[in-house]
Amino acid sequence: MQNYKDLQVWKKSHELTLEIYKITKSFPKEEIFGLVSQLRRSGYSIPTNIAEGSGRFTQKDFANFLQISLGSSQEAEYLIFLSKELNYISETDFITLNKSIGEIKAMLISLIKKVRL
């Protein structure tokens, strides 16, 4: 068992979650229970599953939670793309968020491989 707050991937995914909350504040009101809700949930699911998995007693369990985080990052990546296509976010915000998600995904894949050894 380790402290999830010491993991760089958790820190980066927490920052992404805060950024998603900030950006979605300006989305249309009709998206509150649709895209905003789904994007926020997929965003905070990434660090939440890292935190939950780090509290498990086996490396296999931790790896499973990391895989769930990876799936959530894929979901967030698509929803951010959709948000750009709907003109809810700027190209600049899209590029920034997409880059961050790409880095998080790479970090998760690396950590999953390390944990599974």
Give pLDDT, residue 117. 84
Give pLDDT, residue 1. 60
Give pLDDT, residue 57. 87
Give pLDDT, residue 61. 95
Give pLDDT, residue 39. 98
Domains and their CATH numbers in the chain? 4-116 (1.20.1440.60)
Mean pLDDT score of the chain: 96
Separation CA 115–CA 17 (nearest Å)? 24
Asked if 45 contacts 68 with a C-beta cutoff of 8 angstroms, the reply is: yes
Q: Which residues of the chain have pLDDT under 70?
A: 1
Asked if 62 contacts 50 with a C-beta cutoff of 8 angstroms, the reply is: no
